[in-house]
C-alpha cells in the first residue's frame, strides 16, 4: 500500500514538473521574437561598434587594426568638438522647454471641461505624424522668402528672418519644431499620472481650503514625480541622439551651426566611408549618455516617492 502511494506521488511530481517545463517553454516562445530582435538590432550593433572603432575601415576596403588612433584623432577634430558642443546645446535648449510645455499642456488637459478629448487628440496628433513630414512642413513655414512665419511677421513690419539660414538661431528653430513634434508624447504620460492621483486627496485638500497653486505644488507635482523622472530620462537620451530633423532641415548647416554628433557620425560612416571613425564617435556618445543618465538617476531617483 505504501509503495502504491509512493508511485502515485512520484507520478504527480513528474506531471507537475512536466507542466512547469511546458509553461516555461511557452513563456520562452513568447519572448523569443523580442529577445532575438534585441540581440540582432541592439546588442550586436553595440558590440560591433566597440570592435570596429579600433579599425581603419572604409567599408569597401579591408579593415586595418589601428588601436586607439581613431579616438586620438577624434578629440583633435574641430568638427567633432563643434558637433559635441551643438549636441549639448541642443539638450539644454530642447529638454527643459519640451518638458515644461508637456507639463503645462497635461495640467490643462486634466481639467474636467466639455470636449476635452478633442483637444487631447489635437495635441497628440504631431506625435503620430512622421518626423520627415513635420520637418518638411517646418522647412516651408520657416522659409525666408515665402514662409508663413515671415509672412505673419511682415504685418508687424519685421524684416524676413532666416530661421534656418542664420547660424545664430537655426538650432533654436529646429528645437522649437521638435518641441511641437514630441511634447504630445510626454503630455500623455504626465496626463495619465495626473489622472491616477486619488480623488480623496483633492477632497481632503478642498476641506482644508487649499489654493489651486498649493494643490499643484503639494499634491500633483510630488505624486507625478515617478512619471516625470521617466520623461526627463528618456527625453535627455533621445535629445543626445537627434538626427532626422537636422538631416532634413539644415544638413548640419549653415556652416557647422547645427552639426550634431549623430549627424557627423552618419556623414563619416555613409558619406565619407570612415566606418571605424564613426564607430569611435558612437562609443564616445555611448559613454556620455551613460554618464549623464547615471547622474540624473542619482539626483532624481533618490527623492521620488513611488506610492501615494
CA distance 61 to 176: 41
**Nearest in space to 240 (alpha carbons), one of 225, 260, 254, 222:** 260
Mean pLDDT of 179-195: 93
Q: Say which DSSP state 42 is in.
A: I
Asked whether residue 12 carries a pLDDT value surpassing 90, the answer given is no
When pLDDT is averaged across residues 270-290 and rounded to a whole number, the result is 93
Q: Is the pLDDT of residue 115 over 50?
A: yes
Q: Per DSSP, which regions of the chain are E strands?
A: 55-56, 64-65
Residue 206 vs residue 122, higher pLDDT: 122
User: What does 176-232 look like in DSSP terms, one character per residue?
Assistant: HHHHHHHHHHHHHHHHHHHHTS-HHHHHHHHHTT--HHHHIIIIIHHHTHHHHHHHH
Mean pLDDT of the region 183-188: 93
Q: For 82-110, what is the mean pLDDT?
A: 94
Three-state secondary structure call for residue 246: helix
Query: Which has the higher per-residue pLDDT, 159 or 22?
Result: 159
Q: Would you say the C-alpha torsion 125, 126, 131, 137 has a positive or negative sign?
A: positive
| pLDDT the model gives residue 2 | 47
Instruction: Tell me what pLDDT residue 177 has.
Output: 95
- pLDDT for 307: 57
| Contacts of the segment 66-75: beta carbons below 8 A, 24+ positions apart | 66/276, 70/276, 70/277, 70/279, 70/280, 71/280, 71/284, 73/277, 74/277, 74/280, 74/281, 74/284
Residue 169's pLDDT band (cuts 50, 70, 90): very high
DSSP 43: I
Is 96 in contact with 210 (CB distance < 8 Å)?
Answer: no
State the average pLDDT over residues 105-129: 90
Mean pLDDT of the chain: 88
Q: Report in angstroms the alpha-carbon separations of 67 from 178, 255, 277.
A: 38, 32, 11
For helices 275-300 and 225-240, the axis angle rounded to 10 degrees is 160
Q: Which pLDDT score is estimated for 303?
A: 65
pLDDT, residue 218, reads 86
Residue 85: pLDDT over 70: yes
For domain 69-303, the question of CATH label 1.10.3720.10 is answered with: yes
Round to whole Å and give the CA distance between 37 and 18.
Answer: 29
Mean pLDDT of the region 223-238:
92
Q: How far apart are alpha carbons 191 and 222 in whole angstroms? A: 14
Q: What's the average model confidence in pLDDT over 288-298? A: 92
Quick one: pLDDT at residue 4?
Answer: 47
Q: Between these two residues, 33 and 5, which has the higher pLDDT value?
A: 33
pLDDT at residue 216, as a whole number: 86
Q: Which of 145-154, 213-222, 262-271, 279-288 has the lowest mean pLDDT?
A: 213-222
Mean pLDDT for 86-99 is 95
> Percentages helix, strand, coil for the chain, rounded to the nearest 5?
75, 0, 25
On the question of pLDDT at 290 being above 50, the answer is yes
The pLDDT confidence band at residue 22, using thresholds 50, 70 and 90, is confident
CB under 8 Å to 304, separation ≥6 — which residues? 225, 226, 229
Q: Which tens digits make up the pLDDT trace of 200-222?
A: 888 888 888 888 888 888 888 88
Amino acid at each position: 500500500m505504501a509503495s502504491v502511494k509512493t508511485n502515485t506521488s512520484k507520478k504527480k511530481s513528474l506531471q507537475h514538473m512536466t507542466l512547469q517545463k511546458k509553461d516555461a517553454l511557452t513563456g520562452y516562445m513568447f519572448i523569443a521574437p523580442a529577445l532575438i530582435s534585441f540581440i540582432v538590432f541592439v546588442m550586436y550593433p553595440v558590440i560591433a561598434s566597440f570592435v570596429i572603432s579600433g579599425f581603419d575601415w572604409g567599408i569597401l576596403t579591408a579593415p586595418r587594426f589601428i588601436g586607439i588612433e581613431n579616438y586620438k584623432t577624434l578629440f583633435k577634430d574641430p568638427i567633432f568638438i563643434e558637433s559635441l558642443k551643438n549636441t549639448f546645446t541642443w539638450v539644454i535648449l530642447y529638454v527643459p522647454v519640451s518638458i515644461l510645455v508637456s507639463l503645462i499642456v497635461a495640467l490643462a488637459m486634466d481639467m474636467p471641461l466639455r470636449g476635452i478629448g478633442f483637444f487631447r487628440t489635437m495635441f497628440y496628433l504631431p506625435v503620430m505624424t512622421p518626423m520627415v513630414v513635420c520637418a518638411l512642413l517646418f522647412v516651408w513655414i520657416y522659409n525666408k522668402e515665402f514662409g508663413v512665419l515671415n509672412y505673419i511677421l511682415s504685418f508687424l513690419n519685421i524684416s524676413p528672418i532666416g530661421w534656418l539660414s542664420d547660424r545664430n538661431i537655426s538650432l533654436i528653430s529646429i528645437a522649437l519644431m521638435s518641441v511641437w513634434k514630441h511634447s504630445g508624447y510626454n503630455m500623455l504620460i504626465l496626463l495619465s499620472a495626473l489622472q491616477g492621483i486619488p480623488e480623496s486627496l483633492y477632497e481632503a485638500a478642498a476641506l482644508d481650503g487649499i489654493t489651486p497653486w498649493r494643490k499643484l505644488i503639494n499634491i500633483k507635482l510630488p505624486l507625478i514625480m515617478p512619471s516625470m523622472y521617466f520623461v526627463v530620462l528618456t527625453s535627455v537620451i533621445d535629445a543626445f541622439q537627434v538626427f532626422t530633423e537636422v538631416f532634413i532641415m539644415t544638413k548640419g548647416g549653415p556652416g557647422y551651426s547645427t552639426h550634431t554628433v549623430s549627424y557627423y557620425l552618419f556623414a563619416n560612416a555613409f558619406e565619407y566611408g570612415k566606418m571605424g571613425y564613426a564607430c569611435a564617435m558612437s562609443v564616445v556618445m555611448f559613454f556620455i549618455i551613460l554618464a549623464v543618465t547615471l547622474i540624473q538617476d542619482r539626483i532624481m531617483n533618490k527623492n521620488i516617492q513611488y506610492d501615494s
